[in-house]
Amino acid sequence: MIRRFVLRSRILPGVLAFGAFAAFAGLVAGCGALTTTSAGSQPQTTVAPAVSSVVHLKTTILNGNWPQFTPTDFTLAKGDTVVLTITSFDPGTSTLPASFAKVSGTVGGTELLNGQAISAITPDQGAHTLTIPALGINIVVPAVPVGQKSITIQATFKVTKSGTFAWQCMAPCGTGPSGWSGPMAEPGYMSGTLTVVN
Ligand SMILES: [Cu+2]
Q: What is the mean pLDDT of residues 68-97?
A: 97
For the domain that residue 184 is a member of, what is the CATH number? Answer: 2.60.40.420
The DSSP code sequence of 59-79 is: EEEEESSSEEEES--EEEETT
d(CA 67, ligand 1 centre) in Å: 7
Backbone angles phi, psi at 7, to 5 degrees: -60, -50
Within-domain flag for 49: no
Angle at CA of residue 32, ends 30 and 37, nearest 5°: 95
Same-domain pairing of 7 and 61:
no
Based on the structure, what is the number of domains in the chain? 2
Neighbours of ion ligand 1 (CB under 5 A): 128, 169, 171, 173, 190
Q: What would the pLDDT profile of 122-165 be if each residue is shown by its tens digit? A: 999 999 999 999 999 999 999 999 999 999 999 999 999 999 99
Residue 31 lies in a domain: yes
pTM confidence score: 0.74
CA of 66 from ligand 1 middle (Å) equals 10
The rounded Å distance from CA 174 to ligand 1 centre is 7
**49-57 mean pLDDT:** 78
**Considering only CA atoms, which of 58, 14, 69 is closest in space to residue 154?**
58
Is there a domain that residue 190 lies in? yes
Same domain, 35 and 58: no
Spacing, Cα 31 to ligand 1 middle (Å): 50
Reported as a single tens digit per residue, the pLDDT across 91-116 is 999 999 999 999 999 999 999 999 99
Do residue 32 and residue 68 come from a single domain? no
- Give the range of the structural domain holding residue 21, as residue numbers without chain letter: 1-40
Residue 104 and residue 17 in one domain: no
Task: Name the DSSP letter for residue 181.
Answer: B
Residues 66 and 24 in one domain: no
- Identify the bridge partners of residue 54 per DSSP, sorted by sequence position: 81
CA of residue 79 to ligand 1 center, whole Å: 28
Instruction: For residue 96, tell me if it sits in a domain.
Output: yes
